[in-house]
């Protein structure tokens, strides 16, 4: 089978392979955002077309500027076993849980922002009462 030997700075990360039917990936990504350093990531994984399972191998080390990443393409019968196999249904459930968590966090941030930007509920009424009191400042004492 076709397999990839993935190494970082000369240290072998793993030999990954799927067999005769599937998708095998080893790739580098960099994501940058204004005001942040950016993220480098080495991804290794695959799809076993016979079982429709998504495969993962152990996470490679953190990648930094200056690192050397090599992917050697070989023909072999022996590869490292994947550490994780997930069906499409399992992936959908993980995504649903992730999105639910992200939405809860977004709602918490919105509530916090509203709490910071809006006065407490009783405050406008208190200001109106102070303005109505004899001798109160025209601006409500603010």
Q: Is residue 6 part of a domain?
A: yes
**106 and 80 housed in the same domain:** no
Q: Please check whether residues 74 and 47 belong to one and the same domain.
A: yes
In this predicted structure, the answer to whether residue 111 has a pLDDT above a threshold of 90 is no
Asked whether the predicted pLDDT for residue 54 surpasses 70, the reply is yes
Q: Would 137 be classed as within a structural domain? A: no
Tally of CB atoms within 10 A around 36: 8
pLDDT of 33-46, one tens digit each?
A: 888 888 999 999 99
pLDDT band at 124 (very low <50, low <70, confident <90, very high): low
In this structure, are residues 58 and 51 in contact, taking their beta carbons and an 8 Å threshold? no
Best mean pLDDT range from 7-16, 55-64, 89-98 = 7-16
* 56: exposed, middle or buried (Cβ count in 10 Å: 0-12, 13-18, 19+): middle
What's the pTM?
0.62
Domain span including residue 115: 96-132
pLDDT in tens, 55-88: 999 888 999 999 999 999 999 999 999 998 888 7
Tokens of 101: 């968590």
Residue 47's pLDDT is 92
Within the chain, what is the greatest distance between any pair of CA atoms?
A: 92
75 and 6 in one domain? Answer: yes
Residue 77 lies in a domain: yes
49 located within any domain: yes
Residue 80 has a CB neighbour count (10 Å cut-off) of 16
Mean pLDDT, rounded, of the chain: 85
Residues 77, 11, single domain; the answer is yes
Total domain count, the chain: 2
Residue 139 lies in a domain: no
Instruction: Note whether 8 and 60 are within 8 A (CB).
Output: yes
CB 74 within 8 A of CB 5: yes
């Amino acid at each position: 089978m076709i397999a990839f030997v993935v190494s970082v700075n000369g240290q072998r990360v793993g030999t990954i392979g799927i067999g005769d039917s599937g998708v095998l990936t080893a790739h580098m990504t960099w994501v940058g955002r204004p005001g942040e350093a950016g993220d480098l990531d080495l991804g290794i994984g695959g799809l076993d077309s016979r079982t429709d399972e998504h495969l993962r191998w152990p996470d490679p080390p953190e990648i930094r500027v200056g690192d050397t990443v090599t992917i050697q393409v070989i023909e072999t019968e022996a590869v490292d076993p994947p550490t994780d196999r997930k069906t499409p249904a399992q992936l959908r459930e993980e995504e649903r849980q992730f999105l639910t968590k992200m939405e809860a966090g977004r709602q918490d941030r919105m509530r916090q922002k509203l709490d910071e930007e809006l006065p407490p509920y009783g405050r406008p009424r208190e200001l109106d009462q102070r303005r109505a009191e004899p001798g109160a400042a025209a601006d409500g004492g603010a």
